[in-house]
Amino acid sequence: MAEVLLRVSRLTAGYAAPVAGPLDFELRRGEVLGLAGPNGAGKSTLLKALWGGVRVFAGRVEKAPGLEISHQAQGFDDLRGVPVSGRELLALTGAPSVGLPPWLAERLDRRLDRLSGGQLQFLRLWACLAAPADLILLDEPTNNLDRAGVAYLAEWFARAHAEQGIVIVSHDHGFIDQVCSRVVEVGGGAQS
């Protein structure tokens, strides 16, 4: 049986007050877990709690010793005027360019602020997915991707994650159903 990377028990998380949980699951190496639920249920907040980005009010997040985490958040920082290329972004994360779709590989020497929203989103995803990490956390990975980008991403999931554990938050139910080994439903807010 594969190594347990993450064990989440009765996790309740939030900011000034609890907004999400409780949540329970175990994630093993090679699994892709989807967090599903309605808008406002706290899926993104719970994902942030897994890497320490929000306050944990109750419960536990147990990580395997030495666990390396790669996290892709929703949204983009304003990159206007930042002279960083796609190749430099990959170098910063330790992600190789091998395996990138041709439509993005040919643009790696462009500055990030010269890429389209979909190209930038896919590059950010690739920097996260291909980085040397045990646990990958993805928040709405298909946002801004066209059909070709979503298809390429789904194909990657079908063949390339045996050494990692992945947790995905997405409103794209078709994508979740296609790439996740299982799905955990997140309720409509923190419960006492």
At 104 the pLDDT is 95
Q: Is residue 192 part of a domain?
A: no
Does residue 149 contact residue 118 with C-beta atoms inside 8 Å?
A: yes
Give the tokens for residue 69.
Answer: 């985490």
In the chain, the number of structural domains is 1
- pLDDT tens across 34-90, in order? 999 888 889 999 999 999 899 999 999 999 999 999 999 887 677 677 789 999 999
Give the tokens for residue 2.
Answer: 């594969």
Q: How far apart are the first and last CA of the chain?
A: 34
Q: Is residue 10 part of a domain?
A: yes
Q: What is the CATH number of the domain that holds 150?
A: 3.40.50.300
Which pTM was predicted?
0.91
Domain residues for the domain of 181 are: 4-185
- pLDDT tens across 10-31, in order? 999 999 999 999 999 999 999 9
- 190 pLDDT more than 70: no
At 162 the pLDDT is 76
b/e per residue, 106-133, with b = 16+ CB within 10 A?
Answer: ebbeeebeebeebbbbbbbbbbbbbbeb
Give the tokens for residue 125.
Answer: 């995803």
